[in-house]
Chain A
């Protein structure tokens, strides 16, 4: 990112990129020891989101790399299928790799983003979408994307299902560490939706 692009990212938007980055980080893979340490050090406040952050930190303090790994696989990649399928196409159509994914691929190509060659996992994984949002805000793919472009991408590829996904994560049987992360995701996405609505 150029310094010029960086300076165009407002403080509020930089903070949004951090939240997307946090969600992407913990949803893409089971947490490492370092990631758990960072989660343990998070501090909340009295806002609903801040309370969820405090709950996530508390859950991380009693988790180990092994328990977190088990939980992650039970949630997302359990035998046969995990409790949750973290893909937009599945939420919207009941199947993976349906039309919403092909629409997403068109938009990702326009952004200049592609998955690595060896990757077979569809791009509509919630972590990948959060990663794309963070990149659009920060300007990882070129100049930082204007808010209109962020809203367009979010409305098309995340808004129709992402709150439901995080509600499911919050309520999943296998969720312990990921329960408060689900709450964080749900609350953050609700804030995003509300703030975008204000731009009407």
Chain B
């Protein structure tokens, strides 16, 4: 999958116009992640694995 510089910059331009950079949104969304990571990401590393806490949390709530 050879990529040219132009396809990369086309993508960047598209992303800029897409609304994902919505200033307020992006800034506050960054704020969302801080408590999430602090509160529910134990960042446990065992046997070379990083564990994703979201799977764990979803399970805890699932009442299976």
Residues of A within 8 A of B (CB): 10-12, 15-16, 18-19, 21-22, 24-25, 27-30, 34-35, 38-39, 41-45, 47-50, 53, 72-73, 76-77, 112-121, 123, 125, 127-128, 130-132, 135, 140-141, 148, 187-188, 191, 194-196, 198-200
Find chain B residues with CB under 8 A from A50 CB: 19, 22, 25
CB distance from A197 to the nearest CB of B (A): 9
Q: Which residues between 1 and 60 of chain B lie within 8 Å of chain A, taking CB atoms?
A: 1, 3, 7-8, 10-12, 14-16, 18-26, 28-33, 35-36, 40, 42, 44, 46, 48-60
| Chain A: CB-nearest residue to B10 | A198
Find chain A residues with CB under 8 A from B11 CB: 195-196, 198-199
Knowing A12-B15, A28-B54, A116-B56, the reply to whether A21 touches B33 (Cβ < 8 A) is yes
Instruction: For A188, give its contact among B20, B28, B46, B51 (CB under 8 Å).
Output: B20
Main secondary structure of the interface of A (DSSP, over half): helix
Q: Compute how far the CA of A34 lies from the CA of B10 in the bound complex, rounded to whole angstroms.
A: 38
Interface size class of B (residues with CB under 8 A): 35 or more
B19 touches A48 (CB 8 A): yes
CB distance from A190 to the nearest CB of B (A): 9
Task: List 4 A-B pairs, minimum CB-CB distance, nearest first.
Answer: A47-B19, A121-B59, A43-B24, A28-B54
Could you pull out 30 A-B pairs where Cβ atoms are within 8 angstroms?
Answer: A10-B12, A12-B12, A15-B20, A28-B53, A28-B58, A42-B29, A43-B22, A43-B28, A47-B19, A49-B20, A49-B22, A50-B22, A53-B22, A113-B49, A113-B52, A115-B52, A116-B51, A117-B46, A118-B59, A119-B59, A120-B59, A121-B64, A127-B58, A128-B55, A131-B52, A135-B52, A191-B18, A195-B14, A196-B11, A198-B10
CB distance from A168 to the nearest CB of B (A): 17
